[in-house]
Structure 1
Amino acid sequence: MFRLLGALAGFFLLGFWGIFLGYFIGSFIDRFRAFGPGGMNPFNAARRQSVFLETVFILMGKLAKADGRVSETEVSHVEQFMQKLRMTRDHRLKAITLFKQGASADYDIRPQLDVFLKTCGYSPNLRQMLLVYLIIMGLSDGHLNSAEEELLRDIAGRLGYHQAAFDQLLDMIMNQAHFAGGQSTSANALEDAYKALGVSKDSTDQEVKHAYRKLMSQYHPDKLMGQGVPEEMIAVATEQAKEVQTAYDLIKKNREQNRATA
């Protein structure tokens, strides 16, 4: 957007050559807005990615041990997660070390969350994606127990989420999971679809589309990578985006059918 405005302003102020100068300045502003503070600096980006990964695996360990024991299902989920990230042997060993560190009974997650907030906290997307990964981890065995949910609420609170906002995010992620694989087998598929987008059947078409576009933007690979989500972790966000797309398509098809028969 700003590159076009810059080119236009450059033309009126400086003539033909001003188009190029204005376009260049506008492009810089667009990239800064998309990536956030420090997004143009590759060293800052690398630091954000490192902190994001560290925080994810430490908190996964803490979440897995929340009920007093790490289950085989949770271990399997983490192993599949690392395979999906296509980690090298060294990175895999480091991730396992971080997971075990978080799972230790006396480990305090607050200092790590402080580091995360200082490095990545400026971006609502990064805070939300951290919670998304953790909620998916918590649901790996099919449900959240009370200890896991309490820990997630504590983490969400430290990330700046009010209880209602966390409840909505949790409900959305749980219902997005119903559309894994491109379809829902639930008898309440349409109701699940509305919950997956964070809207209701009483929402207008415009409200539904806005919610859909907002979620797709949050899961957009380029945007997430620019803000600090490691490229290897984009696969999880891509899966979430597919689930959102499936839910939206179901709502849209249902509304078109209702209008056709009205």
Structure 2
Amino acid sequence: MTIWQRLGDLICSLPGSCTLGRALDDLIETVRTMLSGSPEDRRQVAFSVSMIALSAKMAKADGVVTRDEVTAFEQLFDIPAAEHQNVARLFNLAKQDVAGFDAYARKLAGLFEPGSPVFEDIVDGLFHIAKADGMVHQDELAFLDHVASIFGIGEAAFARISSRHIVPEEGDPYLILGIDRAASNDDVKRHYRRIVAETHPDRLIARGVPAEFLAIATAKLAALNGAYDRIRRERAFA
């Protein structure tokens, strides 16, 4: 059974949820309790709910959900045609307003270990949607900053994540890679190889990111590769 089938079954098992009549908060509590006996399913479904709902609220953060943002959401998720309706139910429920996103993010933060890399994966995905209309609006950036702080992502780490998305080709490549400008060529190479390995799809799956969401890794790798290429050309090393 795919992650979408499990999520669809979960949504439609709740009274009224298939007509969007049940509060999102109730759905999250159900995720926490119904899947408590299956850590792997619990982690993957929780990540799915987190990304779908926070993506919808991210799109609503500047007041309007645009077609570009919906398209970006669809790019981020590999959704089988048969499951579009199930995912749309949750997305539409969440996008009604931005209210409550902070409490919702706190609930999701409790589903993973403190400091888990999965929180950065989520913020990366939200940035992908935020920039879909050509820029990250101030209200969207404030939304992202607040979600990141709830997840325990500090200011320096958030700046590094932001730099991968806000005009990365013009940003500081050292900030994008998260390495000091004074690092040696060998240190830069080792650091780059390590963070690329950490971004490999197999690593994402190991920390509870469903295979359907691996477009997150592709987008992140593109930014990391671009930054490394700029440093390599600047320093003229192979």
Q: TM-score scaled to structure 2, two decimals? A: 0.74
**Equivalent position amino acid for 2:61 in 1:** A
Stretches of structure 1 that go unaligned for 5 or more consecutive residues are 1-41, 179-187
Match in the other structure for 1:60: 55
Higher-helix-fraction structure: 1
**Equivalent position amino acid for 1:147 in 2:** D
CA contact (8 A) 1:194 1:201 kept: yes
CA contact (8 A) 1:125 1:218 kept: no
Match in the other structure for 2:75: 80
Q: Secondary structure at the match of 1:238?
A: helix
C-alpha distance after superposition, 1:207-228 (max 9, x if no partner): 4234313421331211110110
Structure 1 Cα separation of the partners of residues 90 and 113 of structure 2? 20
CA contact (8 A) 2:127 2:165 kept: yes
Aligned residues, how many?
203
Structure 2 Cα separation of the partners of residues 115 and 130 of structure 1? 14
Match in the other structure for 2:93: 101
Structure 2 Cα separation of the partners of residues 165 and 246 of structure 1? 19
CA contact (8 A) 1:77 1:140 kept: yes
Match in the other structure for 2:66: 71
Alpha-carbon offset, residue 87 of structure 1: 2.8
Alpha-carbon offset, residue 112 of structure 1: 2.8
How large is the Cα RMSD of the aligned pairs?
Answer: 2.7
Q: Structure 1 124/107 Cα, relative in aligned 2: closer, same or farther at 3 Å?
A: same
CA contact (8 A) 1:57 1:98 kept: yes
**Equivalent position amino acid for 2:82 in 1:** R
Match in the other structure for 2:121: 129
Alpha-carbon offset, residue 98 of structure 1: 2.0
Match in the other structure for 2:30: none
Match in the other structure for 2:4: none
C-alpha distance after superposition, 1:81-133 (max 9, x if no partner): 34xx143422x223222222221226412443233222224452101101111
Question: How do 1:108-147 residues align onto structure 2 when only pairs under 5 Å count?
Answer: 108-122=100-114, 124-147=116-139
Match in the other structure for 1:248: 228
Question: How do 1:183-222 residues align onto structure 2 when only pairs under 5 Å count?
Answer: 192-199=172-179, 201-222=181-202
Match in the other structure for 1:151: 143
Q: TM-score scaled to structure 1, two decimals? A: 0.68
Stretches of structure 2 that go unaligned for 5 or more consecutive residues are 1-36
Moved more, 56-65 or 119-128: 119-128
**Equivalent position amino acid for 1:134 in 2:** L
CA contact (8 A) 1:215 1:241 kept: no
C-alpha distance after superposition, 1:124-165 (max 9, x if no partner): 210110111111111112211111011111101101122233
Question: How do 1:224-235 residues align onto structure 2 when only pairs under 5 Å count?
Answer: 224-235=204-215
CA contact (8 A) 2:179 2:188 kept: yes
Q: Secondary structure at the match of 1:173?
A: coil
Structure 1 Cα separation of the partners of residues 160 and 227 of structure 2? 16
Give the share of equivalent positions with the same residue, in percent.
26
CA contact (8 A) 1:212 1:248 kept: yes
C-alpha distance after superposition, 1:57-104 (max 9, x if no partner): 11111111111111121122223334xx143422x2232222222212
CA contact (8 A) 2:123 2:148 kept: yes
Q: Does 1:223 align with 2:203?
A: yes
